[in-house]
Amino acid sequence: MLALATDFHERCLAHPTLSHPFSHGVEPQHVPHLAGYWGEVFGGPPVYSETRGGHGAMIRVHANQCDDDPFSAVFVECFDAAVVATLPDDAELRAVLRDYIRAATAEVVAYMPSSAAGPGDPPMPRWTWAGRQGCDASVSTGDATTRTP
Ligand code: HEM
């Protein structure tokens, strides 16, 4: 997760659109925080919830920041590229991660408009080989259940 977050963040900083939100200075521990968040989503220990306040806190970092959305498409492109650069060449893994980042980005971006209500205290999303757990199947990878989580 640290390798993925490091590579991904470098891509954001190098991107003409994505670099803008980071141009006012980035929290020095941003990359480990991002890695801890993703680790928790994918079944690791609750590092992000215990140290940063959980999924709602992550959403609130982004909330009410922007009334249009120049970010979603390029954000997922950078993530897909970071997955290819840092994780094993595994089609099933890449499919789950592709589904994940699209669902996660749509959720974050929905809170970005200045008029959006806050997220409350939503649970941390959990993703496995079968896609998102405890949620509707439209964001799941369907029958990809043969791998051990
Ligand atoms: C859609 C476009 C997005 C943009 C432009 C964006 C931008 C940012 C910025 C500027 C920060 C603050 C960096 C800092 O100073 O610490 C941040 C923090 C963060 N972002 Fe995003 N983000 C986006 C989407 C997402 C998504 C989809 C996720 C999760 C899948 C995510 C996860 C995080 C996390 C975990 C943090 C650290 C929050 C903390 O300090 O606890 N971001 N993001």
Strands 131-132 and 127-128: antiparallel
Q: For the chain, which residues make up each domain, given as ranges?
A: 2-139
Contacts made by residues 117-121, CB under 8 angstroms, sequence distance 24+: 118/56, 118/59, 118/60, 118/63, 119/55, 119/56, 119/59, 119/60, 119/63, 120/56, 121/54, 121/56
Residue 56, ligand 1, Cβ within 6 A? no
pTM, two decimal places: 0.92
Residue 62, ligand 1, Cβ within 6 A? yes
Residue 104, ligand 1, Cβ within 6 A? yes
Q: Which CATH number does the domain 2-139 belong to among 3.30.1280.10, 1.10.3720.10, 1.10.490.10, 3.20.20.450?
A: 1.10.490.10
What are the residues whose beta carbons fall under 8 Å from the beta carbon of 146, sequence distance 6 or more? 129
- Per-residue pLDDT 10s for the chain (149 aa) are 999 999 999 999 999 999 999 999 999 999 999 999 999 999 999 999 999 999 999 999 999 999 999 999 999 999 999 999 999 999 999 999 999 999 999 999 999 999 999 999 999 999 999 999 986 544 434 444 456 65
Q: Is 33 annotated as a binding residue?
A: yes
Report CA(61)–ligand 1 centroid distance (Å).
Answer: 7
